Amino acid sequence: MSNLEYRDLPEPSNSTDSAFTREMMDALPRIDTPPPKEARLEAYVKQEVEKAIRQTQMHYQSQLDEALEEVSVLERKLKKQIPPPPEKVERSRTALEKPENFSGDKKKYRAFRESLLLHFEDDAVYFKDDRKKISFVLSFMKEGEAAAFRTDWLENRVDAQQLGLDITNTYGSWPYFADKMEERFKDSFERETAKNEILTLRQGNETAQAFFERFEEKKRWAEYTNRINEEFLISLLRRNMNKPLVDRVIYGGHIPRDYQEWKKELIRIDYIWREREKEKKGSDTGKKPYSEQKKEGEKKKDGTGYTYTGSGERMEVDKAKFRTEGRCYPFSRKGT
């Protein structure tokens, strides 16, 4: 008798037997879709086995997907916590001169810092790492107050590392280092000093190009700009540069409109004037003094008569020779 047929039988009248029967029936596995009576037992069993296999595969696949998701989350967290090792980059060759060693002199600090910035811009790939920037700067602090600053920096960095502190935004940061360097070496009176120096800056014997190099350095330190202080800067050029040069610009038929035009015109006229002076000196050098030219025509006596050191010298020597022989120049016969 099959399980289904057994379930369809009427329950016995005995209450004890009935309870036992119901308990046994409940213990039997439930089948959601009973097979038709005409289906073979082998086909039915195969179908149920395949169904169970599919369910098991789906269950394991679900567990695998969950495990992979957990691994992916952990990988992302690790990437955030552990930065990748910096790529090794070699310093490229440069035409720039090395910065001069800095002793801590506040008057030389700005020039030192500008030289550093030129190197950083020239090799931006290498100096992308803040630590390389800091090491580069410290390598030129070898004496004076600058050497003391370097020692303090290195000792404080080592102490912070030994305490387990994160130095990414402090002793490993270029902005932090630059701020400390500014606090230590920047001249607080630099601006006022530059304002006073630019008032008394004179051209003298130097070229206009050389004058503008000094003038614009002072202008930058005094924090003057062409947009805000243009009229004042032009008045300084007209007063501090050589008067004949300024007059040539003013009376040349075209007065410059702004600072840049004044600069361009002053340099141009100064260059032309100096080139003409060189040409004049060169042409005067090729001429002989009048006293030397006069000496070239003087006579000198020798054994045969007069000898001329200037032009016509050969003719006069020949005449003297023919006369001593009793001949008339230019004929070769005697007594004529």
| Identity of the residue numbered 321 | K
What are the φ and ψ backbone dihedral angles of 153, each rounded to 5 degrees? -60, -50
Is residue 300 classed as helix, strand or coil in its secondary structure? strand
- Give the per-residue pLDDT at 95: 81
Rounded CA-CA distance 26/143 in Å is 97
Closest CA to 274 of 204, 207, 202: 207
Contact 301, 294 (CB under 8 A): no
pLDDT band at 202 (very low <50, low <70, confident <90, very high): very high
Taking only the tens place, the pLDDT of each residue in 270-284 is 999 999 998 888 776
Nearest alpha carbon to residue 270 among 313, 184, 206, 175? 206
- At 290, is the pLDDT very low, low, confident or very high (cuts 50, 70, 90)? low
Overall pTM > 0.85: no
**Mean pLDDT (whole number) for 40-64:** 85
Answer for the pair 116, 99: CB distance below 8 angstroms, yes or no.
yes
Q: Which of 9-13, 36-40, 41-45, 270-274 has the highest mean pLDDT?
A: 270-274
Bin 223: left if φ > 0, else alpha if -120 < ψ < 50, else beta.
left
pLDDT at position 209, please? 94
Higher-confidence position of 268 and 41: 268
- What would the pLDDT profile of 76-87 be if each residue is shown by its tens digit? 888 776 666 656
> pLDDT-based confidence at 332, cuts 50/70/90?
very low
- Does the pLDDT of residue 13 top 80, yes or no? no
**DSSP-based three-state secondary structure for 175:** helix
